[in-house]
Chains A and B, each alone.
Chain A
Amino acid sequence: MSKKVLVFVESKDGKLRNVSFEALTVAKQLAGGGEVIAALFGTGATEFVQEVSQYGSNKVYVLEDEVLVTYTTDGYTQALCQVIEDVQAEVILMGHTAIGKDVAPRVAARFGAGLASDCIGADLENGDIVFTRPIYAGKAFQKKVFNQGKVFATLRPNNFELKENPVQAEVVSFQPVIKDLRTIVKEIVRKTTGGVDLSEAKVIISGGRGVKSKDGFQPLQELAEVLGGAVGASRGACDADFCDYALQIGQTGKVVTPDLYIACGISGAIQHLAGMSNSKVIVAINKDPEAPIFQVADYGIVGDLFEVVPLLTEEFKKVLVLS
């Protein structure tokens, strides 16, 4: 029972995304000897053909269209639908990335099919493809089988082992018909949050109203640089205009789970804890020994953050140079 499997391959900053290779590996396995087709979007797509064929795709659809250089929901949905039609794909896989999350449900809906999203496993059992996906924040797992129609799935990044499987790939140049675009991307302006992305950071140094001013964040910034981490904040600090709201962590801000969270001058209101209490190790620096933040902290330092933080920075510098 071989199947035709199509993989939507994504690139970011001029490089193919790792999850796309994962998807190709999975595709090879699910195809059961059938064809694995990769779809590459945007001008300059051709240069990736070689890389893609390393992971066993027999055919590469290249859509060298200006319109597809930047992602738009409309454009990608239309193009992908047309590729699927043309290929007559039975199984369609892509990464569970920002783009995957946006485009997959739309395309699936256009084919009247279901979608298994955010899968961490995909296996063949008695000819059926069984997808595994986490539910309840990973507290349980769900297995899903499609009983009719095309099979659509998005795969969670970094969950599948890569297997190289070099083949000679046939290149098909495909011209999609894209019309009635409702949005056109003119320019992409990136918000600079200063280095490391908060939600992906392994180390976060966070400041509260205790930081006192915009400049007060400077020592925190330095510590973050030394540790390769990001700077976050309480809403109190954002409200006082010490920093941008993009840094807000908590109930109505970002939820973060770094390996190390250092809270400086944050009292530990539950609204803040809601965004960081699942961090692996929490260190609190506060001059008030009664501050509730100490109740969730693994390590507490009672003291003035403006003394403690620079000390930490110095010490870490020394340790990191040594190691």
Chain B
Amino acid sequence: MLLLLNFLAFLAVTGYAVYLFVQLVYSRYLFVKLGKKVDFEPNLKERINAVLVNVFGQRKLFKDKKSGLMHLVLFYGFFIIQVGLVEIIIKGFIRGYEFPFGGAYKYFSLLQEWTVFLMLCAMVYAFYRRYIEKLKRLQLKRDAKAAFVIIALITLTIAILLTLGFEKVMLGQNPDFSHAPFSGVITAAFSGIGKAAGTALFYLFWWLHLLTVLSFMVFVPQSKQAHELFAMFNIFFKKVGPVGKLRKIDFEDDGVEEFGVGKIENFTRQQLIDLYACAECGRCTNMCPASVTGKTLSPMHLIVKMRDHLTETGASITSRSPWMPSFVSGTSALAPSLTAGLAAQETASTVEMPNLIGDVITEEELWACTTCRNCEDQCPVANEHVDKIIDLRRYLVMTEGSMPNEATRYFQNIERQSNPWGINRKERIKWREERDDINVPTVNEVKEFEYLFWVGSMGSFDKRSQKIVQSFAKIMNTAGISFAILGNEERNSGDTARRMGNEFLFQQLCHDNIANFQAYGVRKIVTIDPHAYNTFKHEYPEFGLEAEVYHHTELIWKWIQEGRIKPVKEVNEAIAYHDSCYLGRYNNIYDIPRQILKSVPGVKILEMERNKENAMCCGAGGGRMWIEETQGKRINVERVEQALDLSPTMIGSNCPYCLTMLTDGTKAKEAEDQVRTRDIAEIVESSLAG
């Protein structure tokens, strides 16, 4: 009779929990579906590989080794204990039930015991990291939900061991330390209490264990733990192709009412899965140059705020309550305030929804991003922050026409003179006249050329960057390379315009440039600007560019290996080398510049603490170069301080924007007399004979 009652109670509770769980997940599925449909490019191999590496291999998590190990235990432990959970549930109805594994059962039992124990340790460690060690990134968002996860999982693991331990007491069996080393301790400790007490305690913990599992299940979709459900799909459905490549806007499509994203539903579905996949781990914000220097932007909060906004908006559009059961969420901390109200009222139409831009995310946050991708590189669930920020900027720039004054000035200057400063476009070519030991023909002055040398606006007009292009021209002359420049026909590459959200201007420039490349039969392009390099290489092909694209460091290294150029003069410098974002995280080029520096006699390379894929941005990307930085500390100053910690004699870089930022940073630190700033091309040129 008692057993039957127990069974009925089990069915009722479990049935209700499963019902809630399905409702909750289904609601979120519907919310994501509010997003725009995008064509799914199969690329199954790439996708499955991403899932294997990042889900089952947990690769990104191991950027933080301690947390990575902890998570690995929980991740695999989760699957392993599922099997054990089923067995324990059956044990509640059939006394002393064991899976019929025959002789192998001992090992199954051992595996379960150890898994549970390791998970318990992992959770205790998680508690330690969050509340005692107070790891910075885990303090970014403090709420009861994070505590609930830790408490629930610690309760669960302990309840499992207690249930198993008291089962043996109930059955009057002796502890089996060799196959149940942990629950055995409990059996041994309580063997004297008698079978009846053992039975009562067995059922007590059996229920505790069951209720913990079920509440946790219902809790998962309503919290950051939703990543357990969504992360894998997110990684699978993530857009394929070059990282950080932006989505093209089709301006021919008359159906488009707004450009960019001004309403959460105007993101694509694939972008919206990101939001629920976020585990609130804070790794992104921890590395974000804007957050680190005290700007209001924090990539984690960006995602989390949009997630909660999607839930609210979705609830209002679909009239589904996202917080359940309502007797908990109506009163507790489960639901953010607005939707808690919604759940209680069950009427959505009366509540005015906040605006995505302005109320949920401020314009200030959006303009603070340098598009450095450090956040994306860190994110274990493959979230993409940058394309969302740019979609929102697109809305501001192209639909609302709302942007910082400097941005307006920038766009106007590019439109009129095709350079950021509005200098007369006829002066673009003048840089080549300033050194008479270099020979730089235009495409009209030679019949044939192998490389088109894309000088870029910085290289053409900025006095400091001119020195880089002059050095590179000299290197090409020495190596006997046939090349030509477009001269005054060169325009701006459009990278910055695109990243500032002016897709329209970008596409105009892109079409003009491609037409120019085609007119002159360009087949190979080389540039000193990683931004132009990236957009030519990964974004222009979509608009019809067919050319090989090189960054100058790639070719310099090739020519050194081929013996065309030989760095022979000693350059006695200790160089702190700064990886630019667009060569590094966008294009994975870390070793080539270092190889080049190593081949220069006398050079000693100093590695900053944040190097290669963790390198901190100089602060110039994504249009930040053109907008005054008034909030918090200057990013370039922070980066230069990191370099100065190594006491270098020189800071080396591979990008004219970085060089400007780093130079300004050394001036701000009054270090410009002791520490010079140089591009790789300049360092190599100074080492050539003659």
A142 close to chain B: CB less than 8 A: no
Q: Are A273 and B464 in contact (CB under 8 A)?
A: no
CA distance in complex: A253, B627 (Å): 9
B668 close to chain A: CB less than 8 A: yes
Cβ distance B12 to chain A, nearest Cβ, rounded Å:
56
Q: Are A251 and B463 in contact (CB under 8 A)?
A: no
Which residues on the B side are within 8 Å of A277 (C-beta)? 423
Q: Are B626 and A270 in contact (CB under 8 A)?
A: no
Within 8 A of B (CB), among A266-296: 268-271, 273-274, 277, 292, 295
Digit string of A115-142 for contact with B (CB within 8 Å is 1, else 0)?
0000000000000000000001101000
B98 close to chain A: CB less than 8 A: no
Q: Are B416 and A137 in contact (CB under 8 A)?
A: yes
Q: Are B626 and A251 in contact (CB under 8 A)?
A: yes
Which residue on A lies nearest to B637, using beta carbons?
Answer: A239
Residue among A136, A209, A270, A295 making CB contact with B421, cutoff 8 Å = A270
* A269-B416 in contact given A239-B668, A252-B626, A274-B421 (Cβ < 8 Å): no
A236 close to chain B: CB less than 8 A: yes
B598 close to chain A: CB less than 8 A: no
Which residues on the B side are within 8 Å of A136 (C-beta)? 416
Which residues on the B side are within 8 Å of A273 (C-beta)? 421
Interface residue tally for chain A (C-beta within 8 Å): 20
Q: Are A292 and B667 in contact (CB under 8 A)?
A: no
Which residues on the B side are within 8 Å of A251 (C-beta)? 406, 420-421, 626
Which residue on B lies nearest to A236, using beta carbons?
Answer: B667
Residue among B406, B409, B463, B628 making CB contact with A295, cutoff 8 Å = B463
Cβ distance B36 to chain A, nearest Cβ, rounded Å:
31
User: B409, B463, B626, B627: which has the most chain A beta carbons within 10 Å?
Assistant: B463
* A270-B461 in contact given A239-B668, A252-B406, A277-B423 (Cβ < 8 Å): yes
Within 8 A of A (CB), among B30-76: none
Within 8 A of B (CB), among A219-257: 236, 239-240, 251-253, 255
CA distance in complex: A222, B461 (Å): 34
* A270-B462 in contact given A251-B626, A252-B626, A252-B627 (Cβ < 8 Å): yes
Digit string of B656-671 for contact with A (CB within 8 Å is 1, else 0)?
0000100010011000
Residue among B416, B463, B628, B667 making CB contact with A209, cutoff 8 Å = B667
Q: Are B463 and A270 in contact (CB under 8 A)?
A: yes
Which residue on A lies nearest to B415, using beta carbons?
Answer: A136
Which residue on A lies nearest to B413, using beta carbons?
Answer: A274
Cβ distance A297 to chain B, nearest Cβ, rounded Å:
13
Q: Are B462 and A274 in contact (CB under 8 A)?
A: no
Which residues on the A side are within 8 Å of B420 (C-beta)? 251, 274
Q: Are B416 and A292 in contact (CB under 8 A)?
A: no
Chain A interface secondary structure, helix, strand, loop or mixed? loop
Which residues on the A side are within 8 Å of B664 (C-beta)? 236
Cβ distance B405 to chain A, nearest Cβ, rounded Å:
9
Residue among A139, A240, A269, A295 making CB contact with B464, cutoff 8 Å = A269
Which residues on the B side are within 8 Å of A274 (C-beta)? 420-423
Residue among A137, A139, A255, A292 making CB contact with B463, cutoff 8 Å = A292
CA distance in complex: A236, B686 (Å): 29
Which residues on the B side are within 8 Å of A269 (C-beta)? 462-464, 660
Which residues on the A side are within 8 Å of B464 (C-beta)? 269-270, 292
CA distance in complex: A209, B416 (Å): 32
Cβ distance B410 to chain A, nearest Cβ, rounded Å:
9
Which residues on the B side are within 8 Å of A239 (C-beta)? 634, 668
Within 8 A of A (CB), among B593-646: 626-628, 634
CA distance in complex: A273, B421 (Å): 8
Cβ distance B308 to chain A, nearest Cβ, rounded Å:
28
CA distance in complex: A269, B663 (Å): 11
Which residues on the A side are within 8 Å of B423 (C-beta)? 274, 277
CA distance in complex: A149, B627 (Å): 40
Which residues on the B side are within 8 Å of A236 (C-beta)? 664, 667
CA distance in complex: A274, B668 (Å): 21
Which residues on the A side are within 8 Å of B409 (C-beta)? 255
Q: Are B463 and A268 in contact (CB under 8 A)?
A: yes
Cβ distance B500 to chain A, nearest Cβ, rounded Å:
14
Digit string of A184-207 for contact with B (CB within 8 Å is 1, else 0)?
000000000000000000000000
Which residues on the B side are within 8 Å of A240 (C-beta)? 668
CA distance in complex: A251, B458 (Å): 13
Residue among A139, A252, A255, A268 making CB contact with B628, cutoff 8 Å = A252
Which residues on the B side are within 8 Å of A137 (C-beta)? 416
CA distance in complex: A270, B466 (Å): 11
Which residues on the A side are within 8 Å of B422 (C-beta)? 274
Cβ distance A242 to chain B, nearest Cβ, rounded Å:
13
Which residues on the A side are within 8 Å of B628 (C-beta)? 252-253
Digit string of B405-435 for contact with A (CB within 8 Å is 1, else 0)?
0100100000010001111000000000000
Which residues on the A side are within 8 Å of B634 (C-beta)? 239
User: A239, A273, A274: which has the most chain B beta carbons within 10 Å?
Assistant: A274
Cβ distance B601 to chain A, nearest Cβ, rounded Å:
28
CA distance in complex: A251, B626 (Å): 7
CA distance in complex: A106, B461 (Å): 40
User: B461, B628, B634: which has the most chain A beta carbons within 10 Å?
Assistant: B628
Beyond A252-B626, A252-B627, A252-B628, list 4 extra A-B contacts (CB 8 Å). A209-B667, A236-B667, A273-B421, A274-B420
Give 29 pairs: A residue, B residue, CB < 8 Å, sorted on A: A137-B416, A139-B416, A209-B667, A236-B664, A239-B634, A240-B668, A251-B406, A251-B421, A251-B626, A252-B626, A252-B628, A253-B628, A268-B463, A269-B464, A269-B660, A270-B421, A270-B461, A270-B462, A270-B464, A271-B660, A273-B421, A274-B420, A274-B421, A274-B422, A274-B423, A277-B423, A292-B463, A292-B464, A295-B463
Q: Give the top 9 A-B pairs by smallest Cβ distance, nearest first.
A: A252-B628, A274-B421, A292-B463, A270-B462, A252-B406, A239-B668, A136-B416, A270-B461, A270-B421
